[in-house]
Amino acid sequence: MTFEVPKVSYTGKIREIPLGREGNTVIVGGESCYPFHLFEGEMPHPPKIAMEVYDSEPEDWPDTALEPFADVIKDTAAWARKCVDTYGAEMIALQLASTDPNDKDISADEAAKITKEVSDAVDVPMIVLGCGNVEKDTDVLKAVCEVCEGRDLIIGPVVEGNYRAIGATAIGYKHTVVASTPIDINLAKQLNILLGNLNVPDEKIIIDPSTGALGYGLEYCYSVMERIRMAALIQEDERLQFPIISNLAREVWKTKEVKVPESEAPLLGDMKKRGILIEALTAQCVLLAGADILVMRHPEAISLVKESIKDLMT
Amino acid sequence: MGLSGIEIFKKLPKTNCGKCGVPTCLAFAMKLATGQAELDACPDLSEDVKEELGEASAPPVRSVVIGTGERAVKLGGETVLFRHEKRFENPPAFTLLLSDNMDEAEITARLKKFNDTVYERVGVVLRPELVAVKAESGDASKFGALVEKVCNETDAGLVLMNEDADALSQAARSCSNRKPLLYAADKNNFESMGNLAKELSCPLAVKAVNLEELSEVSEKLIAMGLKDLVLDSGARTAKKALEDQIIIRRAALLKKFKPFGFPTIVFPCEMADNLIKETMIACQMTAKYGSVIVMSEIEGHSVFPLLLASMNIFTDPQRPMAVDQKIYEIGATNENSPVLITGNFSLTYFIVSGEVDASRVPSYLLIKDTEGLSVLTAWAAGKFAADTVATFVKKSGIEKKVKHRKLVIPGYLATISGELEEELPDWEILIGPREASHLPAYLKQWSAD
């Protein structure tokens, strides 16, 4: 029996999407094979990591996650600068969590003002994410689009309930949208079709099929991402040939397992290393499933994942 | 693979005795055809029929067992490349590496940690499964002594790693009743190794420098009559290991290439200079097709996340994980603690209990059996209807635990509150938040009065 390498013949390709302002762009996508299957295709642009910053001081983070940012936690713009200057962030993801009506409920104008400050503080491509409340995000993201005209932001989550309003504004101010759907390949495709019908250009769409943390439903997201890549690359489903973003850090760092100190659960081991590894392993899994952009928090988890990407690419 | 349920049915006794746990032989045959039952469940099959059906229904990646008794570990048996196509069958065995060069106290400490590291999650026991004993001293008696020590101090399955065939043979004979994995046959020694494994009925690892060589040695061992092999392609970088694992699995599944139709053994411990990085590589291999994953150390901060990843990836996508129906007490509860109710989908349980825990408000969480469905799906399917919820609340014993009679239901099920109040006339039904993340704020303002 002679051995022959069984290769998959790919017929589709993921769109290449440049992000950010001219002179400071990052390109994502472009894959012509399954993730890191470099023996049978190409990944011209390695996956990128966006470091997240918050619009106000986080209240529920474990110390292990706060520690690297202790000196900038009260100043979002300084925080973003530290991510870029100290930790070499390729992108910044601003989480506008305080806009949540069930939380601090800060106004759209206030959120836009914070966004502008951060946007002026760093040059790297910037993702701006609302709190997930459909109505509030519409107001907030419209205001953000307006004050950051020319910044070529990536804004989201854009969902079925607000894609028209946000999509139209994004077109007007030339921003990229994050099309978010709840763990379902058909809904992901449907929203991309709707955005297309609205005339959002294809090179301005990134998809977010939802993310769960390790131990908290990661498997669902993992499989949806694998199925999306399969449809895009093998079945030439062109409405799914978009880069994928995974907003994973906020899911990871709210789980019980990153917050339990070793003294309370000795078998879980060192709390700091454990938290870092739960974030890094969540990232490792979604990378292998097809994510192009990872929104991450802990600098040590980020450097582990960067090293892993490098190892898998070269 | 390949035989239909009807074809299998023809070979069964057709007594419909039900001893296999399924009422009829036809139903059993259908289960066999879809891989949901094992041939051994039928007590009345002749050996000939068993062999014939076994061959025909064998998965393209053979199931190989290492170890015995309760600690026997089943590996391989895989039938798909992607978990959504059906499911992955047997999660990887995280394996502690011990060398006969380590000092005694170090070995004792590491073995103890290995034995103590056991977690339970959703009723599933998660633990590192195997111990690999590696010869590095060059002293056969030292190796033998370490194997003996490990046998005495753990019930776990073993991997015996020795390049010296005589020393390996000696050690293997001393513990062949434990069914250790013998590591490894290569292109030079495969004959003596193959004979040893056959004689002792132990699984045998095959080691090569590349896939080409691996297929050749594996083929020769198959020709010698060896059945339980475990493959090491020799890759020792993350990139090459990923490639090899994918090619081995594809060749077995898509090309029915027999020499690669076995589980694999991989060595993150040889691919990184620290445990943290090793853990990243082990995670990659958990997702992409490693079976025996050998680690230099077992530490909670590393193996716990790996076991979570393994549990996630190997969850059957067609059958959601569920937790037991009962009262879960979170924190130091008392008779004035809030009472909340939700479904038993494991994700629902983890998220809700996590948020309740984070609120620092001790609470009773009633988990109702919804057959693993999430709250809204369960309601739509009639598994969270007011009458069944009421029966559960009454029988749960919660009325003895709290003085108040206030029950918090999920915000999405506001619609059943009226009906539930009729079914539970003593109780006031409160509508909780829609999202679990809003529970801490909700619980902090909750009052029993």
How does pLDDT run across A233-285, given as a tens digit for each residue?
Answer: 999 899 999 999 999 999 999 888 999 999 999 999 999 999 999 999 999 99
Spell out which residues of chain A touch residue B412, defining contact as CB-CB under 8 Å.
none
Cβ-defined contact of A304 to B280 (cutoff 8 Å): yes
Q: pLDDT class for B2, splitting at 50, 70, 90?
A: low
Cβ-defined contact of B238 to A311 (cutoff 8 Å): yes
Angle, to 10 degrees, between the axis of helix A163-173 and the axis of helix A185-197? 50
Average pLDDT, rounded, for chain A: 96
B279 touching A, CB under 8 A? yes
- Cα-Cα-Cα-Cα dihedral of A255, B303, B287, B213, to 10°? 170
**Which tokens is A313 given?**
């690419």
Domains, chain B, ranges and CATH? 5-57 (1.10.15.40), 63-314 (3.20.20.20), 326-445 (3.40.50.11600)
Alpha helices in A12-62 (DSSP H): none
Q: Per-residue pLDDT averaged across B313-326, rounded? A: 88
Query: Looking at the partner chain, which of A217, A276, A280 has a beta carbon nearest the beta carbon of B347?
Result: A217
Cβ-defined contact of B305 to A281 (cutoff 8 Å): yes
Cβ-defined contact of A277 to B246 (cutoff 8 Å): no
Give per-residue pLDDT as tens, A63-93: 999 999 999 999 999 999 999 999 999 999 9
Spell out which residues of chain B touch residue A308, defining contact as CB-CB under 8 Å.
238, 280-281, 284
Residue carrying the six token digits 């990243």: B280
d(CA A176, CA A206): 7
Sorted by where each begins, the domain ranges of chain A are 16-313
Q: For residue B391, give every residue at least 6 positions away whose Cβ sits within 8 Å of its Cβ, in sequence order, or none.
A: none
Q: B4, B85, B128, B74: which is closest to B262 by C-alpha?
A: B74
The amino acid at residue B15 is: T
Cβ-defined contact of A269 to B212 (cutoff 8 Å): no
> Which A residues 246-265 touch B at CB under 8 Å?
254-257, 259, 262
CATH class (in words) of the domain with range A16-313: alpha beta
Residue carrying the six token digits 């959504």: B84
Eight-class DSSP state of B338: -
Contact B173, B195 (CB under 8 A): no
**Residue-level pLDDT at A193:** 97
Q: Per-residue pLDDT averaged across A154-165, rounded? A: 97
Residue carrying the six token digits 């459909």: A134
Nearest CA in chain A to B213: A3
B304 touching A, CB under 8 A? yes
Q: State the nearest Cα–Cα gap between B420 and chain A, in angstroms.
A: 27
A21 touching B, CB under 8 A? no
Give per-residue pLDDT as tens, B200-237: 999 999 999 999 999 999 999 999 999 999 999 999 99
A312 touching B, CB under 8 A? yes
Q: Tell me, what's the ipTM?
A: 0.97
d(CA B3, CA B18): 22
Contact A102, A137 (CB under 8 A): no
CB atoms within 10 A of CB B111: 20
Q: pLDDT class for B1, splitting at 50, 70, 90?
A: very low
Strands B292-295 and B93-99: parallel
Nearest CA in chain A to B321: A217
Cβ-defined contact of B239 to A312 (cutoff 8 Å): yes
DSSP B123-175: TEEE---EEEEE--SS-HHHHHHHHHHHHHH--SEEEEE-S-HHHHHHHHHHT
Give per-residue pLDDT as tens, B90-108: 999 999 999 999 999 999 9
Query: Looking at the partner chain, which of B257, B300, B438 has a beta carbon nearest the beta carbon of A267?
Result: B300
**Residue-level pLDDT at B3:** 75
Query: Looking at the partner chain, which of A256, A273, A313 has a beta carbon nearest the beta carbon of B354?
Result: A256
d(CA B109, CA B103): 10
Give per-residue pLDDT as tens, A217-234: 899 999 999 999 999 999
Cβ-defined contact of A218 to B276 (cutoff 8 Å): no
Spell out which residues of chain B touch residue A100, defining contact as CB-CB under 8 Å.
none
Alpha helices in A241-314 (DSSP H): 249-252, 256-259, 271-289, 299-313
pLDDT at B197 over 60: yes
Cβ-defined contact of A281 to B279 (cutoff 8 Å): yes
The amino acid at residue B358 is: A
d(CA A162, CA B405): 41
CB atoms within 10 A of CB A77: 19
Q: pLDDT class for B320, splitting at 50, 70, 90?
A: confident
Half-sphere exposure of B439 (CA within 13 A, CB side): 27
Q: For residue B234, give every residue at least 6 positions away whose Cβ sits within 8 Å of its Cβ, in sequence order, or none.
A: B207, B208, B209, B210, B213, B214
Spell out which residues of chain A touch residue B247, defining contact as CB-CB under 8 Å.
5-6, 39
Q: For residue B238, give every residue at least 6 positions away whose Cβ sits within 8 Å of its Cβ, in sequence order, or none.
A: A308, A311, A312, B271, B281, B284
pLDDT at B35 over 70: no
Within chain A, strands assigned E span 16-19, 26-29, 48-54, 91-95, 126-129, 154-158, 176-180, 205-208, 245-246, 293-296
Q: For residue B80, give every residue at least 6 positions away whose Cβ sits within 8 Å of its Cβ, in sequence order, or none.
A: B86, B87, B88, B253
Identify which has the larger pLDDT, A293 or B165: A293
